[in-house]
Amino acid sequence: MHNDDVIGRKRTTMTVSRPAVLVLADGSVFEGEAIGADMPIASGEVVFHTGMSGYQEVMTDPSYAGQIITFTTPHIGNYGVARLDNESSRVFARGVVIREMARRRSNWRSDEPLEEFLRSRNVGGITGVDTRRLTRLLRDTGSMTGAFGTADEATLRAALLKEQGTAGRDLVAQVSTLAPYDVANSARKGVKPLSVVAYDFGIKRTILSCLSEIADVHVVPARTPAAEVIARKPDGVFLSNGPGDPEMVLDAPDNIRNIIAADIPLFGICLGHQLLGLALGGRTFKLPYGHHGANHPVRDSATGRVEITSQNHNFCVDPDSIADKVSVTHVNLNDNTNEGMSVRGARAFSVQYHPEAGPGPHDSRYLFDRFAGLMRGAGS
């Protein structure tokens, strides 16, 4: 047994129990024990994630800003945390809810136990919760605001009343880079590298890794004017994932319209997909409890092929609102929502799901090659 495992086990047995409570906007109460950082009060929009692994990547995904993540898998932390698997520099989620924390980790790549990871990043959580009951509640009533911590129930309810949730809020401003930076092409393959400008609305590192395999990538802040992007004469522009309400990212639709008008190939993922829809004059709406998991079936409308996809979003593009401007390319087989579209008469396309995965299956990574082909003039 690894020495760290022994140390981790001893720490677990010596830890003093900290009673904690989770309260929800509908009045529901869940009792448990606090884990991670000392967090008397934490509040946010409570959602659930159905992936069986990838808890570290989920927690470090900036798209979870403003949310409390409930993991439906009952045993979390069993393989620890590896520095190389972080999707961003910090945890933007407000906290985590789990059924049971693993007492020790077992993975040769692990750098630290999940408990230490949470403490060192000032993230709190609650364990011992009946997450099956909680998930069924959220499925029946929809995502709702909640508050958890070691404070008394009355104090948590008072904090809950002040929580705004994610609708009508610009959360992108909390996660976007403050200054541009470059990511070098990692696989030139003997050809002149392409150049891509990537808008950072909350971009994941796995996306940057996939983009760097096809291009030199220049990442810019979310509010960068289109004129600055066009002046760089990129081969393509990428619109990243990100948190919150797409209608609150006020500068993005105008910038996207200007980029399309300049005839620059464009590819959007998740929030980038929603922002493209808004740029075309479409509408977005909030899903009852969102799509958060690594096992969503999506059908390619052109080929009939079904891909198992990784997803993390609360809002969706209404395809009927832009039916005259786009062709729907992908459909979610669980609820028939719009999962992909291409813009008629323009070199632009987008998907609602995460083809880069991280975590999740790699069925859809071909879309990055499709983007490269579009930039090289090979069509979409």
Same domain, 153 and 184: no
Same domain, 360 and 247: yes
CB 67 within 8 A of CB 96: no
Same domain, 183 and 84: no
Single-letter amino acid code for the residue at 312: N
Q: Which domain holds residue 317?
A: 172-375
Residues recognised as catalytic:
270, 354, 356
User: What was the pLDDT predicted at 184?
Assistant: 77
Among 162, 183, 206, where does a domain finish?
162
How much of the chain is helix, strand and coil, in % rounded to 5? Answer: 30, 30, 40
Single-letter amino acid code for the residue at 152: D
Same domain, 148 and 176: no
User: What was the pLDDT predicted at 17?
Assistant: 87
- Evaluate the omega torsion of the peptide bond into residue 359 and state whether it is cis, within 30 degrees of 0: yes
Same domain, 248 and 287: yes
CB 239 within 8 A of CB 208: no
How big is the chain by its Cα radius of gyration, in Å?
21
CB 298 within 8 A of CB 330: yes
Same domain, 310 and 210: yes
Same domain, 197 and 85: no
Same domain, 181 and 112: no
| Count of positions (residues) in the chain | 380
Q: What is the pLDDT of residues 134-180, one digit of tens each?
A: 999 999 999 999 999 999 999 999 999 999 999 899 999 999 999 99
What CATH number is associated with residue 133? Answer: 3.50.30.20
CB 315 within 8 A of CB 351: no
Distance CA 117, CA 345 (A): 48
Same domain, 205 and 178: yes
One digit per residue, the tens of pLDDT, for the chain of length 380 reads 444 443 344 344 445 789 999 999 999 999 999 999 999 999 999 999 999 999 999 999 999 999 999 999 999 999 999 999 999 999 999 999 999 999 899 999 999 999 999 999 999 999 999 999 999 999 999 999 999 999 999 999 999 999 999 989 999 999 999 999 999 777 665 566 899 999 999 999 999 999 999 999 999 999 999 999 999 999 999 999 999 999 999 999 999 999 999 999 999 999 999 999 999 999 999 999 999 999 999 999 999 999 999 999 999 999 999 999 999 999 999 999 999 999 999 999 999 999 999 999 999 999 999 999 999 986 54
- Domain presence at residue 380: no
User: What was the pLDDT predicted at 192?
Assistant: 65
What CATH number is associated with residue 296? Answer: 3.40.50.880
* Predicted TM-score (pTM) of this structure: 0.93
Among 130, 162, 194, where does a domain finish?
162
Token output for 257: 């319209």
Among 127, 162, 197, where does a domain finish?
162
Distance CA 297, CA 336 (A): 10
- Domain presence at residue 167: no
* Total count of domains within the chain: 2
Same domain, 42 and 78: yes
Same domain, 155 and 190: no
Same domain, 313 and 275: yes
